[in-house]
Structure 1
Amino acid sequence: MSSRTEEPPQNDDGRTDASGVAPAAVAIAEPAPVPASDPGSGRSWQGVRALLVRLHFYAGVFVAPFLMVAALTGLAYTFTPQLDQLVYGDQLRVEKVGEAPRPLAAQIAAARSAHPEGTLASVITPPGPEDTTRVVLSLPELGDKQRTVFVDPYTAEVQGELTTWYGSTPLTTWLDDLHRNLHLGETGRLYSEVAASWLWVIVAGGLVLWLGRSRGQRAKSARGVLLPDRSARGVRRTRSRHAATGVWLALGLFFLSATGLTWSHYAGERFGQLLDAAEGHAPALDTTLPGAEPPAEGEGGEHAGHGAAHEPASADPADFDAALAVARDAGLGGTVEVTPPADDASTWVVAQGDNVWPVHYDQVAVDTAKGEITSHSRWADYPLMAKLSKLGVQGHMGILFGIVNQIVLAVIAIGLIAVTVWGYRMWWQRRPIRDDRTAVVGKAPARGTWRRLPLPVLVLGIPAVAALGWALPVFGVTLAAFFVVDVVAGLVRRGRAA
């Protein structure tokens, strides 16, 4: 048998006739299936291509639903800043911009007068002149969420309150949970990790198949790679749209896959181990008050407004202004979060929170009694891996470059939805057709391609796949599941034939 891949016969509408076989896959499709190898065909690099076709097909068919859900929920999350302004504009924006903001102490007093419950966790200054100040309260019954009171910085009038999660409004929190775990908790996070673990595999395999095709001069031209073939019909037209769009989206999809994996459950844990080994974490801010003895292990609270155990007696509202003034003198501009000491042995913390490029993430520890800074954590001192990780997360969330970031993510999400739909359409278009009956979908690529792989590929590929399976556990488990299902299906088919 020749190792050359041939296109199955097609009708005018692009569907295969009774002799046609495999469908194209769902990410960036291979133009034609590779037939099963015959024992006498020997090993060749065509076996690699055949294996890619088979892997691309099965990954596309079974993982595409997860990608579709991730794309739809991600598209909804992309525009949460605009949705927040639409739904919570009364709390987030001031009615009239004044000349100068009131002291934080006056704004805190107004917030505590309206909401005396809980403990004062932190205060976040307005990001812009038309934004409100956020006074964050910790309540035990809210768990890891907080009650945020929104205050007009010019009049010190309370404009409302919301239950927030790390600064996110209820709507943003709901959409974030929908995208991350479909509101199914830790179990639901598996869906997004499956999508992120396989997305880069599908895209990389599809690129290799599309760029490596050898049929005709068009396949070798830049136009043939980047633009759909308008002269094609049927499945060929669908395939060219599917593949050309995938080429344009490839870089963005690789980025979303990589950044999504860094905060996933299992792969994220591996990424954390890598940061530990490479000392790639952000530098920690020393919040111990000079000359004070740190509390015993297990005592004290958490800073940054999340889970503070109590409100220290020293957390006078006037000290918020003192801590802010010291931080401003040290060069911390823009919006900042001022957090009181967790205990008598700790300092105040003032941290920048400007997520739009150029970002500002400097932090200072302030001793308000002496009016001086005791420790400084600068964004410029972050290790490269910590910077890339932080910026990648902000880009993934659509806030790094403002509205431009949102538009790019929306285009990628819509493109991924279109590519997925075209992939399934190809599967349907490549179904075998006969006069007496028509199959529902096309056949899968033929089995046995691994027997045609060159020995160097097997020797190097098996350890590489094992390493990937360790680094990306969900990818490794699902790949093993594909293999088991394929073996069982082959045994069942062989038994029926016998």
Structure 2
Amino acid sequence: MNRQARQPTENQRYFTVWRWHFYAGMFVAPFLIVLACTALGMLFMSNTAGRDHDRLTIVVPESTVPAPISTQAKSALTALPDSTLVKYIAPRDTDTVALFQVKSVDQDTMVAVNPYTAAVVDSTPTNDNLYYTFDSIHSDLLLGKVGDYLLETAASLTILMILTGWYLWWQKRKSLKSMLIPDDHINRQTKRSLFRTIHATLGSWISVLLLFFCISGMAWAGVWGERVVQAWSQFPAGKWGVAPMPVSIDHSQHHAGMNESAPAPHVHGSTSADMPTHGSVLNAGKAKEVPWVLELTPMPVSGTTMGEHGIAPNIPIMIDMVDQYAREIGLEGRYQLNLPQGSTGVWTVSQDSMSYDMSSPTADRTVHIDRYSGNVLADIRFDDYNAFGKFMAAGAAIHMGTLGWWSVLANVLFCLSVIAICVSGYVMWWQRRPRGINESRGLNPPARGQRLSVWWPFAIVLLAVAVIFPTAIIAIVVIGLLDFVLISRVGFLQKLLK
């Protein structure tokens, strides 16, 4: 037999790709349905009650002058005995509550306060409402590291499913127009052909967006995100003076926090690797509240000669003054103010779309202020992000539907489309199952019982997906062994799976 005769035919290539598309789809469809449903839940909660119930409304009095932030904070602290203030979130609108995160030894609480009367409106455990339940399922299926790995693997195989789906539909249609627009004779086709047309056409329409969602979503994941991409995409810490800083200054006359003074510590030489990161300091539990590109970047520290052009040195640095300064530098509406934690902690004022502060990711801003000198240690904006950081800031806004009501509607339609594609795929599989009495009732993959030749160009695609997305390696190897080794050689597996 000559070499040309050994080459797989076009029909064999089609069945090989279809078989991998089938295996990938059977694995990822349940995960995609869960992700789509939980995303719909988060969209609903964030646009009704708010992620932290920040959309609770209050009656605006005739005198529309809010109470001082310090007065509101003292009221919030009464909701949890022996607590300290961690964060202040400014009201979204003139008729919505202010939020205060207060923390005791064994409890972390988010308190909603009427900004005009300083009365407590509501009090709930931090990150413990229906939004965060959906978010936890969406992030790791409530399984921790195992769930994170499963979802990352599912996202990796979804990319493989998209690529194989493009190939299969192109082979049937041979033109982009035919891939995107169903034929007029669709009504005359069989039920399975109808579902296939819906499945493939709808998939063609949303495939690019699904590909984008997979990549942007995996950038948060534990392997491809934190260890591969985020590790080299973090913000350059040294740019804002968080590298070794051996010189200290004494600003003990300045106040830190709400109403207490604290002497400036002596900051010895240290490396950025010794310092806490933005994510560890500012994220509340598993909630992602820090722009992606900053999560692994070390925090600046108070008590050094770094920084400039901040709060005037002759003014006590208290929460009301920091709020005033935040407004003076241009933060409008809802923004977040994190209080200094520990002797070297800093004041952090921030505003970003990922935290639902505003709609535009290009307006992201994070400002760190020395708690003793009042100097601005860092003023990080969207333009300061690297290329992938900008992609992630924009990607998070699209992913979360924070760009306005049009993006909420687009995300709802996208999630419903994903569910429809997954369900139609299972319907096609069920309709294709053998009907005879003696036929197998197993998995029934495409080209059942056929021996398919290895198509090396497709094998290279599999290798590329495995190399780029490491969690896909095990899944691809398992599928390959299952299909090409075990099923073809083990009798009971042939009956079970075919």
Tell me the TM-score normalised to structure 2 length: 0.75
> What do the CA deviations read for 1:455-474 (whole angstroms, capped 9, x no partner)?
xx27xx44x64453243232
Partner in structure 2 of residue 482 of structure 1: 479
Partner in structure 2 of residue 291 of structure 1: 249
How far residue 44 of structure 1 moved from its aligned partner, in angstroms, is 5.1
Partner in structure 1 of residue 410 of structure 2: 408
1:115 maps to a residue whose letter is: L
Within-5 A mapping of 1:94-109: 94-96=58-60, 99-109=64-74
Q: State how far apart, in whole Å, the 2-side matches of 1:176 and 1:495 are.
A: 38
Closer, same or farther: CA 367–426 of 1 in aligned 2, 3 Å: closer
Partner in structure 2 of residue 266 of structure 1: 223
Further displaced range: 244-253 or 91-100: 91-100
Partner in structure 2 of residue 422 of structure 1: 424
Further displaced range: 188-197 or 252-261: 188-197
Partner in structure 2 of residue 160 of structure 1: 122
How far residue 225 of structure 1 moved from its aligned partner, in angstroms, is 3.8
> What do the CA deviations read for 1:438-484 (whole angstroms, capped 9, x no partner)?
65475532554333x25xx27xx44x644532432321111111112
Which structure 2 residue ranges, 5 or more long, are not aligned?
251-265, 286-301, 303-314
SS of structure 2 residue aligned to 1:469:
helix
Does residue 397 in structure 1 map to residue 400 in structure 2? yes
Partner in structure 2 of residue 71 of structure 1: 36
Partner in structure 1 of residue 18 of structure 2: 53
Does residue 382 in structure 1 map to residue 385 in structure 2? yes
Partner in structure 1 of residue 327 of structure 2: 328
Closer, same or farther: CA 329–286 of 1 in aligned 2, 3 Å: farther
> Does the CA contact (< 8 Å) of 1:295 and 1:345 recur in 2?
no
Partner in structure 2 of residue 431 of structure 1: 433
> Does the CA contact (< 8 Å) of 1:282 and 1:383 recur in 2?
no
Aligned match for 2:489, one of 488, 491, 495: 491
1:99 maps to a residue whose letter is: T
SS of structure 2 residue aligned to 1:338:
strand
Further displaced range: 274-283 or 185-194: 274-283
> Does the CA contact (< 8 Å) of 2:487 and 2:494 recur in 1?
no
> Does the CA contact (< 8 Å) of 1:79 and 1:406 recur in 2?
no
Partner in structure 2 of residue 188 of structure 1: 147
Task: Using the aligned pairs only, state the percent identity.
Answer: 24
Q: State how far apart, in whole Å, the 2-side matches of 1:125 and 1:285 are.
A: 26
Closer, same or farther: CA 305–338 of 1 in aligned 2, 3 Å: farther
Closer, same or farther: CA 213–490 of 1 in aligned 2, 3 Å: same
Partner in structure 1 of residue 282 of structure 2: 304
| CA RMSD in angstroms, aligned pairs only | 3.7
How far residue 202 of structure 1 moved from its aligned partner, in angstroms, is 0.9
SS of structure 1 residue aligned to 2:393:
helix
Return the structure number with greater relative CO, CA threshold 8 A, min gap 6.
1
> What do the CA deviations read for 1:307-337 (whole angstroms, capped 9, x no partner)?
8xxxx9xxx9970111122232222333222
> Does the CA contact (< 8 Å) of 2:12 and 2:452 recur in 1?
yes
How far residue 184 of structure 1 moved from its aligned partner, in angstroms, is 2.4
Within-5 A mapping of 1:1-16: none
Partner in structure 1 of residue 177 of structure 2: 222
> Does the CA contact (< 8 Å) of 1:338 and 1:348 recur in 2?
yes
How far residue 233 of structure 1 moved from its aligned partner, in angstroms, is 2.0
> Does the CA contact (< 8 Å) of 2:169 and 2:200 recur in 1?
yes
Q: State how far apart, in whole Å, the 2-side matches of 1:318 and 1:113 are.
A: 23
Partner in structure 2 of residue 17 of structure 1: none
How far residue 68 of structure 1 moved from its aligned partner, in angstroms, is 2.4
Partner in structure 2 of residue 28 of structure 1: none
Does residue 240 in structure 1 map to residue 197 in structure 2? yes
Partner in structure 2 of residue 342 of structure 1: 341
> Does the CA contact (< 8 Å) of 1:51 and 1:449 recur in 2?
yes
SS of structure 2 residue aligned to 1:294:
coil
> What do the CA deviations read for 1:345-382 (whole angstroms, capped 9, x no partner)?
44422222444432332122335666553432222211
2:96 maps to a residue whose letter is: D
SS of structure 2 residue aligned to 1:426:
helix
Which structure 1 residue ranges, 5 or more long, are not aligned?
2-37
1:366 maps to a residue whose letter is: I
Count of aligned pairs: 433
